[in-house]
A = this chain, B = another copy of it.
Amino acid sequence: MTAADAAAPGATRTAVLLSDGRELIYFDDEPGRRRGEPDRRGLAPVARPPSQLRHDRLTDEWVVIAAHRQGRTHLPAVADCPLCPSGPARETEVPEDYDVAVFENRFPALGVPAVGLPAVGLTGPGEGGPSASGQARRGDRAGPFAGQPGDGRCEVVCFTADHDASFAALTPRRAATVLAAWTDRTAVLGRLPAVASVFVFENRGEEIGVTLGHPHGQIYAYPFVPTPLSAMIRVARRLGRCQHCEAVAAEEAAGARLVASTDAWVAFVPYAARWPFEVSIYPRRHVPDLPALDEDERAEFPSLYLDVLRRFDRVLGVKMPYIAAWEQAPVRAGRRWAHLRLRVFSNRRAPDRLKYLAGSESAMGVYVNDIEPEHAASLLRAAAC
């Protein structure tokens, strides 16, 4: 048995290893629980995933090629769910009952074998590699076929052992434990030399492509800074002020798109919303990432976020598919210009209609939104529990 090995703010943390060497970390709502039930599956040690990063020189962006994921688990029956706790009848990815469990993805888009942390074996930034100098001028040095192994890390975050629950159904206490897990992973993964940006997100609903029904989110630790993050930093730097801070102030003054707020947080439909239902959740304070949140911000987040998610599920009278995406400052570059934001958006535009990313969105990046943001906000305001 392993005793809790560290305390994440707001939860108790215990790290163990799965039988193939992947790391599993329990985050418990309350201290005092002993952990360490072994993984009895006797899996072969994980190999370095054969994924590749390829540089699209035309646009100066990185693409992940992960052919090994083609055979990943796809919508298994509930009785075969790999995210439920192991029981007498079968072994899963999690050896025992849990509150929140985080582990390395068995079919990672990015990753290297990392036994323990700091992740032994993670390569440093190679010459010409994506993390060598951030985004700037990278394309200048490489040929037309610049690539490198898909270093980084992909983790799965199970929000509850209850297969049939959802994030919106969690207690505020449990949502605080999830926040503690997200915070811990952002801090730990951000210290890995290969990692440039930590992306914490949840895909919910088969309509947006979820392949496992168990309530869970994911973490992608990228070895480069994704384009939307660099674009936002570039704009803020050029204008000399945080555009998120300005948006928060302007939206509070305008009022028409507000959805919910607390002392420390505010949630609104952005003026230029791309999706039929989209909410930006901000700490009012200019904070770069989850580890930088203070105690009050941590304490207030769970009830605000649960409120927003419950409004999503009520606004059209059907369970909503959604993507919840934390925009965090890159690990090293441009941090002072970044402002933590949680974007929650759905591709459902009516009880029987989805929004698709077709030609304009997928090829030109131009979103056409069929619902006026002020209308979406008024529907969400009316969808209180």
- Confirm or deny: A109 has a beta carbon within 8 angstroms of a beta carbon on chain B: yes
Check if B366 sits within 8 Å of A64, measured CB to CB: yes
Chain B residues positioned under 8 Å from A254 (CB to CB):
145
Q: In angstroms, how far is the closest chain B Cβ from the Cβ of A71?
A: 9
Q: What does the 1/0 interface line of A168-189 toward B look like (CB < 8 Å)? A: 0000000000000000000000
Check if B364 sits within 8 Å of A67, measured CB to CB: no
Q: What does the 1/0 interface line of A338-360 toward B look like (CB < 8 Å)? A: 00000101000110011111111
Bound form: Cα–Cα A273–B365 in Å: 16
Q: In angstroms, how far is the closest chain B Cβ from the Cβ of A214?
A: 16
- Confirm or deny: A265 has a beta carbon within 8 angstroms of a beta carbon on chain B: no
Q: What copy number does this chain have within its complex?
A: 2
Nearest B residue (CB) for A234? B60
From 268 to 283 in chain A, residues with beta carbon under 8 angstroms from any chain B beta carbon are 270-274
A372-B208 CB under 8 A given contacts A357-B357, A357-B362: no
Check if A59 sits within 8 Å of B370, measured CB to CB: no
Which listed residue (B147, B203, B228, B271) contacts A364, Cβ 8 A?
Answer: B228
Q: What does the 1/0 interface line of A283-314 toward B look like (CB < 8 Å)? A: 00000000000000000000000000000000
Chain B residues positioned under 8 Å from A271 (CB to CB):
54, 56, 144-145, 147
Chain B residues positioned under 8 Å from A56 (CB to CB):
270-272, 274
- Confirm or deny: A209 has a beta carbon within 8 angstroms of a beta carbon on chain B: yes
A229-B358 CB under 8 A given contacts A54-B272, A74-B353, A372-B67: no
- Confirm or deny: A378 has a beta carbon within 8 angstroms of a beta carbon on chain B: no
- Confirm or deny: A27 has a beta carbon within 8 angstroms of a beta carbon on chain B: no
Stretch from A13-21, A34-42, A82-90, A219-227 forming part of the interface with B: A219-227
Check if A66 sits within 8 Å of B357, measured CB to CB: no
Chain B residues positioned under 8 Å from A355 (CB to CB):
209
Bound form: Cα–Cα A64–B276 in Å: 12
Add 6 more A-B contacts to A69-B368, A143-B250, A220-B364 (CB < 8 A). A59-B232, A63-B272, A147-B272, A201-B359, A228-B364, A228-B365
